[in-house]
C-alpha cells in the first residue's frame, strides 16, 4: 500500500487547514468579552474558565480521554482510560520520573550541548532538527538507551501528517471514499509497524520494548510498540514546539535576549529566575497543547451546562492562559510577567501547559529541565534576529511555529565581531 498516494498532499493540506482553523477560533475567542462567547463550537462544549477546567482535569473517570481516530495508532497511556490506562502509565512513568530529577541536569546539558552548542553557522531548519535530535536522545536516555536517533526523526514527519489526518477525519465529519475511516485505521497501524521495524535495528531498544510488553500474545507486543511510539512522539513534540516559540520570541526581542544572556552568564551554570519566567510566559502565550478533548462517561452538569453521556468537551488551554479574571493584560506578551515573578495564585489556578490532575503530562519535569538547559545554551552561544513581524504555525497534536529564514542565527563570537 502506498501511503503517499492515499494521503495526497491535498488531503494533508486540507487536514492541516481545518485543524489550524480550530486553533485560530480558540485564540479568536479570547479577543472577545467572555459574555459574548458562545458556549459551544458546533456540538462541542467549550471550557474556558480555570475553575471549570479543574473539575474536568480532576475527575478523569467522568471526563475520559477522547482522541477519536488518533487512538488507531494503538493502545497507549494517552488514549486509554481507567485501569487499563493506569497499567500502561506504570510501564513508562518510573523511567520518566527518574529522568526528571535534578541529578540528571548534567547529562541533559551534555546532550543538548553536543547537538546545538557547537555550530559556527546554521539555518533555522538545521537548528530545529538538532533540537529534535537532542530531545529524542534525552527521551531514550531516560530508558537507558543511547543510539542514533536519525531514523526516528524521519518517521516522526510522517506521524505528524498521520495525526493531522486522524484528527481531521474524527472531528470534521469527513466520510469520503478517499478518507474511509477503516482504511485510515489500517494506515495508522502501519505507522506502528514501520516504527517497530526501525526499533528492531537496535537490539537494546527492541529488548526494552519487548520487556515492557505483557508478553502473552502478539497483541501485547503491538500494544507495547504503540505505547512506546506515542510516548516518544509526545515526549519530543511539546519540548521542540516550546523551544521553537522561545527562539522566535528571542529573535523579536533583542533587549530581552541580551538581558537573559547576561543573567545566564552571571548565574554560573544554573538557570536564573528570569529565564524561568520567560520560559513560562512563552508557554502561557503559546501553549504547546492548545486544547484537550474529553468525553462524558455519564450525564453531568459542568459550568452550569447540563451535558449527556457521550457529549464532547473541549478544554481551551489557550483561554485558561488568557483568562481576564486571572492574568493582567492577558493578551499581551510580557517576558517578565508579574504573575510568574511573584508566584501569584494565578500560576497554580490557570497555568496548564502540561495540564493538571491525575492525567497531567508524565514527562513534565523532564521537559522543564530540557527547556532550561537548551535555553541556557542557546542564549550563550547564539544571537537571534528576525525581520518578520508575525510567525505562522501548524497544529497537529502540538502547537508548532513555522520558523523560516527570516529568523537569522549567528554565533556569539561572530556577532560580537561586528
Choice among 95-99, 169-173, 232-236, 309-313 with the minimum mean pLDDT: 169-173
The DSSP bridge pattern shows strands 305-307 and 312-316 to be: unpaired
| Spatial separation of the C-alpha atoms in residues 203 and 199, rounded to whole Å | 8
Say what the pLDDT of residue 8 is: 76
Q: What is the pLDDT of residues 19-45, one digit of tens each?
A: 999 999 999 999 999 999 999 988 899
Task: Label residue 329 by pLDDT band (50, 70, 90).
Answer: very high
Helix (H) or strand (E) holding 40: strand 40-41
CATH of the domain at 388: 1.10.630.10
* Helix segments in 286-398, DSSP class H: 317-320, 338-342, 345-350, 364-381
Closest to 403 (Cα-Cα) out of 12, 159, 132? 132
Q: Assess whether pLDDT exceeds 50 at residue 231.
A: yes
pLDDT in tens, 268-303: 889 999 999 999 999 999 999 999 999 999 999 999
Cell numbers describing residue 301: 452538569
Question: Domain of 305?
Answer: 3-416
Query: How many domains would you assign to the chain?
Result: 1
Model-level pTM?
Answer: 0.94
* Sheet containing 291-296, strands listed edge to edge, beginning at the edge strand earlier in sequence: 40-41, 44-47, 312-316, 291-296, 63-65
Q: Residue 106's Cα: distance from chain center in Å?
A: 24
pLDDT value at 5 more than 50: no
Beta strands in 54-104 (DSSP E): 63-65
Amino acid at each position: 500500500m502506498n501511503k503517499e498516494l492515499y494521503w495526497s498532499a491535498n488531503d494533508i493540506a486540507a487536514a492541516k487547514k481545518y485543524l489550524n482553523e480550530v486553533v485560530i477560533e480558540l485564540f479568536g475567542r479570547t479577543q472577545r468579552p467572555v459574555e459574548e462567547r458562545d458556549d459551544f463550537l458546533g456540538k462541542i462544549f467549550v471550557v474556558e474558565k480555570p475553575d471549570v477546567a479543574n473539575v474536568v482535569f480532576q475527575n478523569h473517570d467522568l471526563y475520559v480521554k477522547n482522541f477519536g481516530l488518533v487512538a488507531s495508532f494503538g493502545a497507549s497511556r494517552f488514549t486509554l482510560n481507567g485501569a487499563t490506562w493506569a497499567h500502561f502509565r506504570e510501564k513508562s512513568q518510573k523511567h520518566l520520573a527518574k529522568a526528571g530529577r535534578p541529578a540528571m541536569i548534567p547529562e541533559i546539558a551534555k546532550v543538548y550541548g553536543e547537538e546545538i552548542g557547537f555550530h559556527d553557522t546554521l539555518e533555522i531548519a538545521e537548528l530545529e532538527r538538532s533540537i529534535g535530535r537532542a530531545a529524542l536522545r534525552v527521551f531514550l536516555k531516560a530508558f537507558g538507551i543511547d543510539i542514533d536517533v536519525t531514523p526516528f526523526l524521519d518517521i516522526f514527519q510522517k506521524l505528524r501528517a498521520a495525526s493531522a489526518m486522524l484528527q481531521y477525519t474524527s472531528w470534521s465529519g469527513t466520510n469520503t471514499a478517499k478518507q474511509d475511516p477503516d482504511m485510515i485505521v489500517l494506515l495508522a497501524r502501519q505507522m506502528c509497524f514501520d516504527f517497530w521495524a526501525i526499533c528492531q535495528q537496535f537490539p537494546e531498544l527492541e529488548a526494552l520494548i519487548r520487556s515492557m510488553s505483557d508478553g502473552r500474545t502478539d497483541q501485547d507486543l503491538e500494544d507495547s510498540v504503540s505505547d512506546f511510539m506515542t510516548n516518544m512522539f509526545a515526549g519530543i513534540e511539546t519540548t521542540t514546539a516550546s523551544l521553537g516559540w522561545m527562539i522566535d520570541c528571542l529573535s523579536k526581542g533583542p533587549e530581552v535576549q541580551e538581558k537573559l544572556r547576561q543573567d545566564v552568564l552571571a548565574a554560573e551554570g544554573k538557570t536564573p529566575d528570569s529565564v524561568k519566567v520567560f520560559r513560562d510566559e512563552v508557554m502561557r502565550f503559546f501553549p504547546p497543547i492548545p486544547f484537550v478533548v474529553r468525553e462524558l462517561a455519564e450525564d453531568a452538569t459542568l459550568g452550569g451546562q447540563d451535558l449527556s453521556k457521550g457529549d464532547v468537551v473541549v478544554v481551551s488551554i489557550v483561554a485558561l492562559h488568557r483568562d481576564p479574571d486571572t492574568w493582567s493584560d492577558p493578551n499581551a506578551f510580557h517576558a517578565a510577567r508579574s504573575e510568574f515573578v511573584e508566584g501569584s495564585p494565578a500560576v497554580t489556578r490557570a497555568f496548564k501547559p502540561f495540564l493538571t490532575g491525575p492525567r497531567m503530562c508524565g514527562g513534565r519535569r523532564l521537559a522543564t529541565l530540557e527547556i532550561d538547559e537548551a535555553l541556557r545554551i542557546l542564549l550563550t552561544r547564539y544571537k537571534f534576529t528576525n525581520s518578520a513581524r508575525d510567525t505562522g504555525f501548524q497544529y497537529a497534536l502540538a502547537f508548532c511555529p513555522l520558523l523560516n529564514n527570516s529568523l537569522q542565527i549567528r554565533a556569539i563570537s561572530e556577532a560580537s565581531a561586528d
